[in-house]
Amino acid sequence: MTTAPQTAAPQAAAPQTTDDIDHVTAIRVLEAESVHIIREVVAELERPVLLFSGGKDSIVLLRLAEKAFRPAPLPFPIMHVDTGHNFGEVIEFRDRRVAPTADNPDGIELIVASVQESIDSGRVAESTDPSGSRNRLQTRTLLDALEKGGFDAAFGGARRDEERARAKERIFSFRDEFGQWDPRAQRPEPWSLYNGRIRRGESVRVFPLSNWTETDIWRYIELENLELPSIYFAGEREVFERDGILLSVSEFSQPRDGEEVTTEWVRYRTVGDLTITGAVRSRATTIPEIIAEISEATVSERGETRADDRTSSAAMEDRKREGYF
């Protein structure tokens, strides 16, 4: 089995077209909006944290946060809610991304909130999900970690185009003292004015990428030459099909009777618990090829590849009401 390269292959320089210029202008406008939102949160709230999964959206979000405060270091830590069922390539990338560099000798402060530790301490019960997914267990782990750290704001990389419950959410998404979300109790955000006032015990989730699309994310990755985990690029993997989703053979996801293992060229559109995150058949090994591929897609990345969002039409909204990302 072969694996894809860590980054997209270098592209030959091409003449810049009017479309290229328009795309860059649009991306820089989105960038400026997101940087403004991040700065507003740091100015209004006392102790923010950035939720980081090692996926493409959180990678872009982290770059935007760094840009918001350069040359100073990030004024807040990042947090990964670790299910323990991760793609190895993503964990390797995460640890490398936060390591000290010449530009940042102290590195980035990383908090790992472990679902396994929540299970071991009795905070949550081991999942009875036949798929082995720990996705629902993340909610308790996240809420405990936010409370332990005294965080009153958490940046997330969600976008409105991902899923209908995401589209209901404002950029500042307020949570009550139990970390729960009420879609009927959101505040207006006219003219990009954000009200960050909260009472003791309350918190806010903030989504600076709300107005971005999947294509915007990839264009920004290309523009900024951002490194990604290799699973975003096509390569050969052993997979099996379950409920219309291609799952990778791993320690945590094994085929059942009647599920045939095949070796196929695939890549991942989104990163998550590998027991429920599916691959898509693809030969796209460069960013331009990926952009062309998703431009023709008729299903969002979560709708196509996340089994947890298929349990009901309101699956994501139900989890968000409980305190999910």
Give a three-class secondary structure readout of 71-123: CCCCCCCEEEEECCCCCHHHHHHHHHHCCCCCCCCCCCCEEEEEHHHHHHCCC
DSSP code per residue over 262-322:
EEEEEE-SS-S-TTTBPBEE----SHHHHHHHHHT--S-HHHHHBGGGGS-TTHHHHHHHH
pLDDT at 3 > cutoff 50: no
Element (H, E) at 62: helix 56-69
Determine the pLDDT at residue 11. 47
Least-confidence region, from 27-31, 99-103, 297-301:
297-301
Query: How far, in Å, CA of 5 to CA of 234, rounded?
Result: 9
Query: How far, in Å, CA of 238 to CA of 251, rounded?
Result: 12
What is the separation of C-alpha 23 from the centre of its chain, rounded to a whole number of angstroms? Answer: 23
Which residues are within 8 A (CB) of 27 and not within 5 positions of it... i.e. 6 or more apart? 216, 219, 220, 223
Average pLDDT over residues 180-195: 81
pLDDT at 281 > cutoff 90: yes
pLDDT digits (tens, 9 = 90+) for 12-41: 444 455 567 778 899 999 999 999 999 999
Instruction: State what percent of residues in the chain have pLDDT above 70.
Output: 84
Contact present, 187 and 174 (Cβ < 8 Å): yes
pLDDT at 93 > cutoff 80: yes
Contact present, 217 and 211 (Cβ < 8 Å): no
pLDDT at 305 > cutoff 70: no
Q: What is the pTM of this model?
A: 0.86
pLDDT bin (cut points 50, 70, 90) of residue 289 is very high
Least-confidence region, from 150-159, 173-182, 227-236:
173-182
Mean pLDDT value across the chain: 85
Average pLDDT over residues 235-254: 91
Rg (CA), the chain: 19
pLDDT at 320 > cutoff 80: no
pLDDT at 226 > cutoff 90: yes
Tokens of 246: 């291609």
Buried b (16+ CB within 10 A) or exposed e, 155-171: bbbbbbbbbebbebbbb
Query: How would you list the strands of the sheet with 172-175, edge to edge?
Result: 110-114, 78-82, 48-51, 153-155, 203-206, 172-175
Average pLDDT over residues 273-286: 91
Least-confidence region, from 50-54, 68-72, 196-200, 295-299:
295-299
Which residues are within 8 A (CB) of 36 and not within 5 positions of it... i.e. 6 or more apart? 192
pLDDT at 5 > cutoff 60: no
Kind of pairing, strands 48-51 and 78-82? Answer: parallel
Average pLDDT over residues 88-111: 91
> Does residue 295 or residue 223 have the better pLDDT?
223
> Does residue 283 or residue 253 have the better pLDDT?
283
Tokens of 51: 């939720």
Q: Whose structure tokens read 């915007």?
A: 216
pLDDT at 244 > cutoff 70: yes
Determine the pLDDT at residue 9. 42
pLDDT at 194 > cutoff 70: yes
pLDDT at 8 > cutoff 50: no
pLDDT bin (cut points 50, 70, 90) of residue 224 is very high
